Structure 1
Amino acid sequence: MFDGFQRVVTEIDGVPIHAVHGGSGPPVLLLHGFPQTHAMWHVIGPELARDHTVVAPDLRGYGDSGRPASGEDHAGYSFRAMAADQVGLMRALGHEEFAVVAHDRGARVAHRTALDHPAAVTRAALLDILPTTHVYDHVTQAVATAYYHWFFFIQPADLPERLIAADPVGYLHSLLGGWGSGLDAFAPEALAEYERCFADPDARHAMLEDYRAGASIDLEHDRADAGRRVTAPLLALWGSRSVVGASPIDPLEVWRGYGEDVRGATVDAGHFLVEEQPGATLAALRTFLRP
């Protein structure tokens, strides 16, 4: 995967961030979500690299990036900390300004990056999420059922860790095969990479710390910023068969409350639209990223 790309490990404030980068042209940062790594961009990344400089890192705690201590308030895995990682990485690679395309947890990092570092983010595509505060403030039985992991993962360590350890790969497959996408949406080499990383107990703990931060310090940050909008152009893209797509709430209407210039579209896919429908996803992204 990522033939012709370079692999780098860059230490940002003491945390090693692993990434691949390649191509030439306007820079675009690709951020993955849970329970994946940068490998989720193995089709779209090289295609975008035809006319962009593409950087695809592993978020802290994921893949081959560092797994710092989280702290009692889980701040070590806050979206604010992850956003600072990505701005630092891009600057280290020579990119003061960049577009960001992000999925799932990575899209929450991108949202925070656009708020905390507005001068750095030229445009942001957020794939298959609704804002974190909106989700927590509008929990229904349907949302709690579909997003049960949000409430399971935030239980105190190490209860979720021990339960998942009983069959980590089997549990990983249940996650990837859910939310409207089947397990056959994933290329064997990408699935093998997700399995390799999820087999690491330290990686699984770090991923859960991401969710614990999301239900605590991240909400504090978001509520302190209530009313602030992303100033960069924002694209909301979601799968028609995902939890977001199946919701009676219009995702585009929701995001227009969080950004000044918001557009949106749906893709005939489940949650993992990047790998399930790479062609349609790429087409929407190319249109959005076009100067």
Structure 2
Amino acid sequence: MSTPADAPSDGAFPDGFDELRLSHVSVGEVSLRVRDGGSGPPLLLLHGYPETHLAWGLVAGELARTFTVVAPDLRGYGDSSKPAAVPGHESYGKRAMAEDCIALMRGLGFDAFDVVGHDRGGRVAYRMALDHPEVVRRLTVLDVIPTGEVWARADARFALGYWHWAFLAQPSPIPERLIGRDPDFFLFDAEFGGAIRRFPPVAVADYARCARDPATVEAMCEDYRAGATCDRREDDEDRAAGRRITCPTQVLWAGRGALEAWYDTLAIWREWADDVTGGAIDCGHFMVEESPHETLSAIRGFHAGHRSPAGSA
């Protein structure tokens, strides 16, 4: 397998990713589109908004040389099921998404495993570590702080820079109808300054296809509605009860992104977890696509059982 690189000119991923098995797996009330393969300790990779499991295409093949990689589409995203919304938004809460992933891993024969999550996937990953400490051996979160902290610290910078948090959380069907008029423009131009368009074309095509499905748009909105309601409440309840993440935790964030500018990211996570290391990588929010070599090196080093500074081998 080759090492990850910028997207090849033909739009393909590096050798190795397409060698992983692609399937749909039932995990109770939902079915997840999943790519898995490799050998070694199990490593669950969880993508963020507005992507699918193809977000890991530049690194998953290489990780599969060391780990058994499992990369699903989260419920509501990609070709995974879109369960009906409920008044409290719990059907798209991170607790429900974490339960999906635990059931997936158990079905594959893994009762305990390592987890890496980017963006919304990072929120699923840390919720899993809080709710089910017996299953998460090591945790990496990419470019997030806990949801409760985001809302508690929201200010004018947040309102302007992360405006989509409040927009997507508006009552149905306000954001759905507005996004539905031109989903490509909203997801790829209005948000993120067009950055996603520069990613591997095979992944961009997958994101665009899925985003043109009104059920996917509704699900993404429900994800953010959950973030503003049940996810925030569960975080606040954990803080009040003194619950903490007990597994070794790696925190990586974009050196050219909002976390670097707005927060003392490691200090925040040390209020939530007992054993925290990490640092910034010189890139924007989409760390795997924008800086695959450094991100891969940091993830692989940490989950192979030794600590390495962000961006080092």
The TM-score bracket by the shorter chain reads over 0.9
Matched residues in 1 for 2:85 and 2:248: separation? 32
The range that moved more, 85-94 or 181-190, is 181-190
The answer as to 2:266 corresponding to 1:240 is no
User: Aligned residue for 1:20?
Assistant: 35
The answer as to 2:149 corresponding to 1:131 is no
Contact 1:176 1:183 in 2 (8 A): no
Matched residues in 2 for 1:262 and 1:163: separation? 40
1:95-106 matched pairs, under 5 angstroms: 95-106=110-121
Runs of 4+ aligned structure 1 residues displaced above 3 Å come to: 175-178
TM-score of the superposed pair, with normalisation by structure 1: 0.96
User: Aligned residue for 1:158?
Assistant: 173
Instruction: Flag the 1:183–1:89 CA change in 2: closer, same or farther, 3 A.
Output: closer
TM-score of the superposed pair, with normalisation by structure 2: 0.90
User: Aligned residue for 2:79?
Assistant: 64
1:138-287 matched pairs, under 5 angstroms: 138-174=153-189, 177-178=192-193, 182-183=195-196, 185-226=198-239, 227-247=242-262, 249-287=263-301
Name the SS of the counterpart of 1:214 in structure 2. Answer: helix
Alpha-carbon deviation of 1:142? 0.6
Alpha-carbon deviation of 1:174? 2.0
Matched residues in 2 for 1:138 and 1:176: separation? 22
Contact 2:98 2:125 in 1 (8 A): yes
Matched residues in 2 for 1:233 and 1:240: separation? 22
Name the SS of the counterpart of 2:34 in structure 1. Answer: strand
Alpha-carbon deviation of 1:183? 3.9
Instruction: Flag the 1:176–1:191 CA change in 2: closer, same or farther, 3 A.
Output: farther
The range that moved more, 4-13 or 156-165, is 4-13
Contact 2:188 2:195 in 1 (8 A): no
Alpha-carbon deviation of 1:243? 1.0
Matched residues in 2 for 1:224 and 1:245: separation? 27
Name the SS of the counterpart of 2:18 in structure 1. Answer: coil
Task: Return 5+ residue gaps in structure 2 as ranges.
Answer: 1-12, 306-313
Alpha-carbon deviation of 1:242? 1.1
Contact 1:123 1:232 in 2 (8 A): yes
Match of 1:45 among 27, 42, 60: 60
Q: Deviations over 1:213-264 (max 9, x none)?
A: 11111122111111311001101100111111222x2101110101000001
Name the SS of the counterpart of 1:108 in structure 2. Answer: helix
User: Aligned residue for 2:125?
Assistant: 110
Alpha-carbon deviation of 1:176? 5.8
Contact 2:188 2:197 in 1 (8 A): no
CA RMSD across the alignment: 1.2
Name the SS of the counterpart of 1:182 in structure 2. Answer: helix
Matched residues in 1 for 2:143 and 2:219: separation? 22
Q: Deviations over 1:159-212 (max 9, x none)?
A: 11001111110111125643xx83454111111111111111100100100100
Contact 1:37 1:194 in 2 (8 A): yes
Matched residues in 1 for 2:79 and 2:206: separation? 10
Contact 1:185 1:276 in 2 (8 A): no
% identical equivalent positions: 48
Contact 2:255 2:281 in 1 (8 A): yes
Matched residues in 1 for 2:190 and 2:51: separation? 10
